[in-house]
């Protein structure tokens, strides 16, 4: 990506370092994000982690995966969001159209 995210799961190098530490990957090197299997393994681990952190809320977990946990946490505070909500029209980002056209 133009922001530096790497591989199929679009993992930022700093996030990759953190994930590797949390997963106890002692032999991890940042270049391993270019390996498809490693990238998918780390990305899916991180998605599972975010789903737990946001109590199963897929919207918040995916937003955190894309924009970062810090942003989502600040949006939750700013907009009074709870970890469990059904639907909201007050997203702090614009819908960018149907990505699957």
User: Over its length of 101 residues, how does the chain's per-residue pLDDT go in tens digits?
Assistant: 788 999 999 999 999 999 999 999 999 999 999 999 999 999 999 999 999 999 999 999 999 999 999 999 998 888 887 765 555 555 555 555 544 44
State pTM to two decimals.
0.79
Reduce the DSSP state of residue 36 to 3 states and report it.
helix
Q: Which whole-number Å values give the CA distances from 101 to 96, 97, 98, in the listed order?
A: 12, 9, 6
Could you give the CA distance from residue 59 to residue 42 in angstroms, rounded to a whole number? Answer: 20
CATH architecture of 13-79: Orthogonal Bundle (1.10)
Could you give the CA distance from residue 73 to residue 76 in angstroms, rounded to a whole number? Answer: 5
Reduce the DSSP state of residue 95 to 3 states and report it.
coil
């Amino acid at each position: 990506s133009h922001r530096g995210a790497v591989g199929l799961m679009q993992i930022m190098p700093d996030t990759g370092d953190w994930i590797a530490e949390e997963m106890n990957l002692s032999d991890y090197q940042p270049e391993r994000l270019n390996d498809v299997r490693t990238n998918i393994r780390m990305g899916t681990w991180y998605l599972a982690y975010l789903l737990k952190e946001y109590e199963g809320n897929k919207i918040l977990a995916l937003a955190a995966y894309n924009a970062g946990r810090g942003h989502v946490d600040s949006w939750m505070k700013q907009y009074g969001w709870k970890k469990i909500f059904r639907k909201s029209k007050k997203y702090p980002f614009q819908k960018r159209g149907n990505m699957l056209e």
